[in-house]
Copies of this chain bind each other. A is one copy, B any other.
Amino acid sequence: MRLSIPVVWSEAHRRHAPETGVWVGVRIPADEVPERAERIRRSLEDAGAPIVRAEPHADETLLAVHEPALVEFLRTAWAAWSEAGYPGDPGQDEVVGYIFPTPGLLGVVDPHVPRSPAARTGAYCFDTMTPIGPGTWEAARAAVDCALTAADLVLDGAPAAYACCRPPGHHVTSSAYGGSCYLNNAAVAAAHLRDRGVERVAILDLDAHHGNGAQAIFWEEERVLTGSVHVDPGAGWFPHFLGFADERGVANLNLPLAPGSGDDAWLEAVDRLAEAAHAHGSEALVVPLGVDAHADDPNAPLEVTGAGFRQAGLRLGALGLPTVVVQEGGYVLETVGSLVRAVLEGLAEA
């Protein structure tokens, strides 16, 4: 049976192709690479899914969830950086911060935004692993267009649509990027649904890491439920500072899981997220979908199987709500495509 869910796609993701990232002061090979999206697309094409080109949307859609200063920084950072002429070998000369305005630095003082591009980065980025290269803005902007086009398909009556977003977005808050993410594709899509008349929306984040971006963006927003199942940050996993069960916004649910949880515990959490959406009265879903909870993925130890991912699709599909699936993490090139396909096949079959 052909996979009926349309796959929204943009070639522009290839423009973002970091070779390395900086982790604990050491250059390590990048894992959020263009080949990820290519593999996913190929797998979904093989399943017979229709490929839909992303439609451009106006920048103002970004401003529904992001502060103008963040958007402007992302748009201009590479140009300012290359003009400043910072050192770095090719592939290691991207925008990376070095000073960060933590509460410990700032105390009670309201900080100025630094003038030097080197320092300014820390005003908008919270880690050293999310480099901005010459094509990052174009790619990140196109990823948002993918998510918005998928949302439009659902608004136009499709039961579900999948946005093959790259770079991912779920760690980006209203004012800060990081975690290999630049613009919060899923949050923009959710705001788009809300602003086009969907009374209540649920963002149910299946990526193996906490969806801290949507949590922060919609912290005080009753109409947008944010839920996330992820590996317990208290066990030593990104984003480390956030993602705990005691973080409760107006409509927010964090379900951190112990390392090694496996299918049963993970699917029980997926069920709890689905129940929360039902209780919330959500009329549409946005699913930030990472497949890094899979047993083969070194980025999280949740030990979920391919069958588990298919089950997750089935269970979310059982809600019977219009659903926008937005690609987030998943870093094993050999399996990332089949795992995304498993979720979408479950969703389509439900």
Task: Give chain B residues whose Cβ lies under 8 Å from the Cβ of A216.
Answer: 107, 109
Task: Give chain B residues whose Cβ lies under 8 Å from the Cβ of A25.
Answer: 22, 27, 88, 92, 94, 96, 98, 128, 131
Q: Are A241 and B105 in contact (CB under 8 A)?
A: yes
Give A92 Cβ to nearest chain B Cβ, in Å: 7
Give A179 Cβ to nearest chain B Cβ, in Å: 8
Q: Are B105 and A176 in contact (CB under 8 A)?
A: yes
Q: Are B128 and A241 in contact (CB under 8 A)?
A: no
Does A124 count as interface, using CB distance less than 8 angstroms? yes
Q: Are A114 and B175 in contact (CB under 8 A)?
A: no
**Option from B22, B70, B97, B239 in Cβ contact (under 8 Å) with A105:** B239
Does A301 count as interface, using CB distance less than 8 angstroms? no
Task: Give chain B residues whose Cβ lies under 8 Å from the Cβ of A244.
Answer: 112
Does A279 count as interface, using CB distance less than 8 angstroms? no
Does A103 count as interface, using CB distance less than 8 angstroms? yes
Q: Are B24 and A241 in contact (CB under 8 A)?
A: no
Q: Are A96 and B24 in contact (CB under 8 A)?
A: yes
Q: Are B102 and A176 in contact (CB under 8 A)?
A: yes
Q: Which of A160-204 contact B (CB under 8 A)?
A: 173-176, 178
With contact pairs A102-B122, A114-B241, A233-B114 given, residues A24 and B88 touching in the complex (Cβ less than 8 Å)? yes
Distance in angstroms between the alpha carbons of A107 and B174 in the assembled complex: 9
For this chain, the copies found in one complex come to 2
Task: Give chain B residues whose Cβ lies under 8 Å from the Cβ of A22.
Answer: 22, 25, 98, 128
Distance in angstroms between the alpha carbons of A169 and B263 in the assembled complex: 50
Does A28 count as interface, using CB distance less than 8 angstroms? yes
Task: Give chain B residues whose Cβ lies under 8 Å from the Cβ of A116.
Answer: 236-237, 240
| Most chain B beta carbons < 10 A, residue from A111, A121, A131 | A111
Q: Are A176 and B104 in contact (CB under 8 A)?
A: yes
Task: Give chain B residues whose Cβ lies under 8 Å from the Cβ of A119.
Answer: 236, 238, 240-241
Does A99 count as interface, using CB distance less than 8 angstroms? yes
Does A136 count as interface, using CB distance less than 8 angstroms? no
Does A311 count as interface, using CB distance less than 8 angstroms? no
Q: Which single residue of chain B is at the shortest CB-CB distance from A104?
A: B176
Task: Give chain B residues whose Cβ lies under 8 Å from the Cβ of A124.
Answer: 104
Task: Give chain B residues whose Cβ lies under 8 Å from the Cβ of A23.
Answer: 98, 118
Given A105-B242, A115-B236, 13 new contacts (CB under 8 A): A22-B22, A98-B129, A99-B238, A99-B241, A104-B123, A104-B124, A105-B241, A106-B242, A107-B174, A109-B216, A109-B242, A114-B236, A114-B240
The 10 sampled A-B contact pairs (Cβ below 8 Å) are A22-B98, A24-B97, A25-B131, A107-B174, A109-B242, A112-B234, A114-B241, A119-B236, A120-B240, A122-B241
Residues of A within 8 A of B (CB): 22-28, 70, 86-88, 92, 94-109, 111-112, 114-116, 118-124, 126-129, 131, 173-176, 178, 212, 216, 219, 233-242, 244, 247
Top 5 A-B pairs, shortest CB-CB distance: A104-B176, A25-B96, A100-B100, A114-B240, A119-B240
